[in-house]
Structure formats: C-alpha cells, structure tokens
A and B are shown apart, each in its own frame.
Chain A
Amino acid sequence: MSIIVDQNTRAIVMGATGTEGTFWTEHMVNLGTQIIAAVTPGKEGEHVGNIPVYHSVRRALDARASNTLIDSHSSENTHADAAMLFVPPRFTKDAVFECLDAGIKCIVTVADGIPLHDALQIRSAALSCRANVIGGNTSGIISPGKAMLGMFPYWIERVYRPGRIGVMTRSGSLTNEVTAMVVRAGFGVSTLVGVGGDPVPGMRFSEVLAEFEHDPETDAVVMIGELGGTMEEEAAEMLESGAFSKPLVAFIGGRHAPKDRRMGHAGAIVSGGKGSALDKMRALAAAGALTAERASQVGILLTEALKSKNRDAPSANGSVSPLSAKSAEQKQPRQQP
C-alpha cells in the first residue's frame, strides 16, 4: 500500500497540452499512473499521447461514462479519483473548484504563486468537501514504483526507491537531498507528499500524518519542514496526543534564517516572533520526534528510530518490518568511507 495515490488511482490532467503538462503527463503514464482523460478548454478532440482531451472536467467525466457502454469494464470506470493540475496560479482557484464540483476528492496543484486569498478559499472548500488538495507550490505526490501526480525525477534511483518510509515536505529541491539520505541508509519510500512551500497549503502535514498512520506499509515518516507557519507544531501535537504513533524524523530548514526575512518560499518567514525553525525543532523533540540538524543525519536517525521501535515492540502487529531496520544495519557500514 501507500497513501493517496497508487496504481489504482484514476486521474485526469488539467493543462496537459502545455509543454510542461505534456512532458510530465507522459512521465506519469510511464511510471504506471492511470491517466483517463485530459482537460484543456478549446482543445477537445486532441490527444496527449493516447489520452483524449476534453473542454471541461464535466465533459471528460461524461464522455468516460458514455464510453463504458462500449467498454467491457464495469460502471466504476466512469469516475475519476484524482486530478493533476498544470494550471497557472491565477487560474488555479477556478480549476480546483471545477474539480471539487465534479466530485473529485484528490487534487494536486503544482502552481507556484497562487494568490493568498484564493488559497484560503481553496483550503476552506477542501475542508468542507472532505477533499485533499495537495499544493500549490509543490512537485506533487509520488508512490515510487506505482504512480505519481506531479513532477518528480523518479528515474533518479538514489532518491525514488520504493520502500516503507513516508516522506512529507514543504520543499521540492530539499526533497531530493533528504530522500537521497533515506535511500543511502538502506530504506525506500512508500509515498512522498509535497505539501508545498506556500503559506496556505491545501493539505497540511497533520493530515498527511493521519494517512501515514493508517498505512500498514509505512513504518516511519520523514518530515522536511522549514521556518514559518505552524504545520510542524501541529505534527508535534499529533505525536504528543498519540494520534500519530510511528517514528517521526524531522528536518527543519532555516535554523539560522534572520528574523522577518522571507527565505525563498512565500511561507518561510518568522512573523510576530512565531514559527522559527528552532522553536519547531524543540516542539518536535519534546513530543518524541527525532530531529536532524542536517540532511545527512536523517538516514542515521531513521535507522535508530526503527531499531528502538522494534526493540520496544518486537511484534507490533507486524507493521514494523524488522527487515528494513536490519537491512539498514547491513548497509550502514558501506557508506562509511
């Protein structure tokens, strides 16, 4: 298993006819993602690879419905589980609401630069529709070896190896860096969720953690956070309350960031004295998370966390794989120069 996205997810792509959209749609298909339709207003009748393009989400789903008459598949084929949006930031709110109104419960938006007030409305609508809107300002979500909705260089084997570690991140560039350390320590990734670098992400760390908690194939989670906002503190609260019970390793960027300076991401700013990286690390450590000061420590902490977990609960409903810790142990010496 994995969370949110796997090989059974049926997705549509909005904006697949653009250069970037086409490039990544092909890669999503290559990895095994089921892309059932594309949506670009004005381009119905065209194709992206073998994927038919429709003017609107509604028309795409209707067309799928009528196709089932000649399809031998069951009527389950008429729906989409997810939507991948390659839509510019200023049109993202419209696109998200189009998908929500069509009943789609998982929407990934990579747009960097969604206006704040649009993002608030998106978040609000996602909550009331009980939908997961991942992003914006993210690379998306990938379950390595199964499927992805987004833009990940899954062909880089030292980063995107399938396994049993969940990863959630606010940064695209840092994800490659940190996940490479997870893989170097002998682990792999169950699902990697980029919640994005904006101040108002559609889906928050705490909600991703809840998904990982219930995934029997995720043994531990690596969180790549940074200064600004309260998402890391919310994750700490979940550990504290027991709502998340697996090991959590946290890497928080911006420990030395000067106050009141926005470090790259729109959401990466300490304001009103709140949200510094050190405060976050303290809150997480107090709640029982293992905190890494540097990316290079993540793999080591993960190995430790899973070892001690096994010792504490040797038969923990079989969900903690002794193999992963063991193989990490075996592989560990090899990386020592």
Chain B
Amino acid sequence: MKLHEYQAKALFREFGIPAPQGELAETVEAAVSIGGRIGWPAAFKAQVLRGGRGKAGLVKIVRNPEEARTAANAIFASDWKVRKILIEPAISHERELYVSFSADPRTGTHLLLASAQGGVEIEDLAKTQPEKILKEHIDSIRGILPYQARSVAYDLGLEPSLAKSFSSIIEKLFRLYVQKDAELAEINPLFVTIEGTFIAADAKISIDDNALFRHPEFEQDTADFDSDIAREAAAEGIPYLQFDGDISLMCAGAGLTTAVYDLVVDFGGTVANYLEFGGPNYRKSVRAMELCIKNNPKVILIVTFGTIARADIMAEGIVEAIRRLKPNCPIVTCIRGTGEDKAREILVSAGLEPLTDTEEAVKKAVELAHNVYSTAAERPTPDAAAMPGGQP
C-alpha cells in the first residue's frame, strides 16, 4: 500500500525526520488561500500515487496568487485525477541527497541506498554512475548499527557536522521502515539548506500489504482504487486488476491468470479485467461473475487448474452464477484439476462446452470477442496455427 507524500511526511515528523509543514487543498480557491497564508514562493504538489508527477508538470513553485491559481487549475485539470494538492513553503537549498531502505531478497537483508547526488535523475545515475550510489546491507535480525549509518555518511564525503545529522536521519528512517513494516522508505531529494540543516523535500513510503494486520493505522483510501469494481473486489478479498479491453478473465491462481493474460494478448485479444477466484475464493463464483459482468465484457473466460479449489464446486458455482445473473455475453470454460470429471458433467448438463486446453479456450474467447461486434473480415488471424503445439 503506497502512502501519499503528505501521509509519508507526517510519519517522517513522527519519527523525528525534518519535513516541511504543509497543508492540503482540494479546490483551486483553497490552494490560493493556503498559499497566501504560508507565504510565497510556495510549492504546489499534486498528491498522486503514480511516479513521474514531476516530469508531468504536477509539481510547481509559484510566486504569487495568479501563478498559484494557474498552477492549481492545471493540476486539477490534468488527466491524473488529482484530488489533493499539498502546499508547502518553497525551500532554498544548496544540495540534494538521496537515501532509502528496501528489501534485498537474495541475502535476506535490508538494503540501505544513499547518494550525495539525489533528485529526479537518480535512476539515470544508477545506470550511468552506479558507484555514486552507496549500498549497505543491514542484517534483518540484528537491525542497523550506528557505525553503518556513520560509515555511509562519511563515505559520501560529507563534512563531519553534516555527516552526524545525516547518519541520525538514516537511523530514524530505518526505525520508521521497520516499525511500520515498509517495503520501501525513501527520501529523494533530501535537501541540505543554506543554513546547513536537512529537510525531506519528498517522501515515498510503501507499506507491506501482508503486514497491514499489524497496522490498523493505515487504511486504504477508497479513492485510490482503479475503479469502483476494483474497490468492490478488494472488499470481497478477490484479487482484481482493472483493464479496459473486451475479455473478462475469471481464473484461478495468480500464475495461471497471468499466463492466460499473455495468451489473450498473443492471440490478438484485449483484457477487460484480471480476476482470481481460486484459493480461498473458490466458492465465490457468483460474486466473481457479478464483478466481471459490470465491465460489460464481450466474453467471460474461465480457466482453472485447481488443487484445493475443487473443479466440481467451481463448476456448480458457475452454473448457479449464470442462472442468477443471466450474463448477455458468451462464457468460455476450461475447468480442470481435483474433481474435473464431475465438473465436466455439471457444465455439459448446463449447456456449456467444457474445454480442457488453455490455449484452445483463449483462442475461442478471442474469436468470440471479435465476432460479437465485428465482421469476420476485420478479425485478425491468430498466428497460432504456425506455433508448435498450436491449433489442431
């Protein structure tokens, strides 16, 4: 779960990391008046979870009410669906540093990254001059030791007074990262002001979803979902991703659903949504199909190969879902695994054609999706017949 900048900065302050005291505006008028109160120049920063907002012109320094109005208008009018602007006093600085903590799966350690050349170009720096970014592995059981923070500060070439406060910020950021179960905690840029003090100009924190049970203080903002359907699915505990194509995927298992997504694109189709109703959700066929139907798909494609998720129970659920929801699009089924023979009987007796090969099922779905509204002539020819193991 990604936090917005204003939420992350509130955490920074809670853990003793200096961050500007800003205010949120949800309208142009509010933005202009907050700017006036805070004083010009002010930083107007769109609160969005996607990266690249700086390059998209969603972060602006404004010097007077007119500029503020223009900037706020532009930010709210962008296609990024911005609902909040964070307004802070603009800070003059002489240097930009970088510091972050993340996981290193290979060694089972936390990874401290730091650079004396922070800012928006950090990813390029990582490619062109990787030696400018220092790496320190932090034992995940022992935690960070002061010497590690100190060494990084001095190795970056900071003079002793700065090195001292920088290592203290490193330790505080680590404390936050561990106590809040973050998968990423990043300050970029970390400003060194003219007065020689540090202040976090930006803040990026992402909390581990699997650890949210330990953190009731974090609640997903309902406005941060891709769609209303995605929100409903989340409330139901059904893994769901929103797309805008023709075919609704109603599959079981993350790996299989991802592979089916690949095949749909391979065969020239498009995906309306990714939905998994396997694992603990395999009795939720009706709810799953209801979510799919809301996308008004041209086809619903059901592919499973379950172990615990019994095929016969899923087949029963699908037949029940069709009876209750009466979807007005074709449904392609390919249900295998534990109880598959019984599943086949159930599907056949409900008038469905149970397929057993994933590729065949995907091809059929893509064909049907093209046939619904377009003529055969428009239909792209799947190149599949040429592939090994392809079309019989």
Contact = CB atoms under 8 A, between A and B. Distances in A.
B274 to A, nearest CB: 7
B369 to A, nearest CB: 16
A294 B181 CA distance: 37
Interface in A169-221: 169-177, 180-181, 197, 199-201, 204
A173 B141 contact: no
B108 A120 contact: yes
Contacts, number: 185
B252 interface: yes
A20 B239 CA distance: 22
Interface in B30-55: 50-51
Contacts of B261: 254, 256-257, 263
Interface stretch (A222-230, A238-246, A309-317, A323-331): A222-230
Given A172-B307, A177-B358, A254-B262, A263 B103 contact: no
Interface stretch (B89-97, B344-352, B373-381, B383-391): B383-391
Contact of B254 (A113, A177, A263): A263
A56 to B, nearest CB: 22
A283 interface: no
B140 A264 contact: no
Interface stretch (A35-43, A74-82, A122-130): A122-130
A173 B306 contact: yes
Given A171-B253, A263-B241, A124 B108 contact: yes
B255 A156 contact: no
A300 B308 contact: no
Contacts of B278: 173
A112 B279 contact: yes
Interface in B231-289: 239, 241, 251-259, 261-263, 265-266, 274, 276, 278-279
Interface string A86-98: 0001100000000
A124 B109 contact: yes
Interface stretch (A46-54, A61-69, A265-273): A265-273
Contacts of A300: 388-389
A171 B105 contact: no
Interface residues of A, number: 68
B103 A116 contact: yes
B211 interface: yes
Contacts of A73: none
A121 interface: yes
B204 interface: no
B258 A263 contact: yes
Interface in A242-260: 253-257, 260
Contact of B106 (A89, A139, A230): A230
Contacts of A18: none
Given A295-B358, A300-B389, A268 B258 contact: yes
Nearest to A114: B210
B208 interface: yes
Contacts of B266: 256, 293-294
B389 A120 contact: no
B178 A229 contact: no
Given A121-B141, A152-B307, A264-B239, A201 B255 contact: no
B81 to A, nearest CB: 16
A68 to B, nearest CB: 34
A261 interface: yes
Contact of A268 (B141, B183, B254, B359): B254
Interface size on B, as a range, is 35 or more
Given A151-B307, A229-B105, A117 B337 contact: no
Contact of B252 (A123, A173, A226, A294): A173
A26 interface: no
Contacts of B263: 294
A234 interface: yes
Interface centre among B239, B258, B278, B308, by most chain A C-beta atoms within 10 angstroms, is B258
A273 B127 CA distance: 11
Contacts of B181: 115-117
A337 interface: yes
Nearest to A177: B305
A200 to B, nearest CB: 4
A169 B257 CA distance: 15
A120 B253 contact: no
A172 B390 contact: no
A273 B123 contact: yes
A241 B283 CA distance: 47
B103 A120 contact: yes
Interface in A295-312: 295-297, 299-300
B124 to A, nearest CB: 11
B336 interface: yes
A20 B106 CA distance: 31
A151 B257 CA distance: 20
A155 B341 CA distance: 13
Contacts of A112: 279
B256 A171 contact: yes
A90 B387 contact: no
A266 B209 contact: yes
Contacts of B279: 112
A120 B140 contact: yes
B115 interface: no
Nearest to B254: A264
B103 A199 contact: yes
A171 B255 contact: yes
B392 interface: yes
Interface string B179-219: 00101000000000000000000000000111101100000
A91 B338 CA distance: 29
A177 B259 contact: yes
Nearest to A150: B307
B387 to A, nearest CB: 7
Contacts of A260: 50-51
A20 B308 contact: yes
B210 A116 contact: yes
B110 interface: yes
Given A123-B105, A294-B389, 18 more contacts: A115-B181, A116-B103, A122-B108, A124-B140, A126-B108, A153-B338, A173-B304, A173-B306, A177-B305, A200-B103, A200-B105, A226-B255, A226-B258, A253-B258, A254-B262, A260-B51, A294-B387, A300-B389
23 contacts: A20-B308, A115-B210, A116-B183, A116-B210, A124-B109, A127-B107, A152-B307, A156-B338, A171-B258, A173-B254, A174-B253, A200-B103, A226-B258, A253-B262, A255-B265, A264-B254, A264-B257, A266-B209, A273-B123, A294-B263, A296-B387, A296-B389, A297-B387
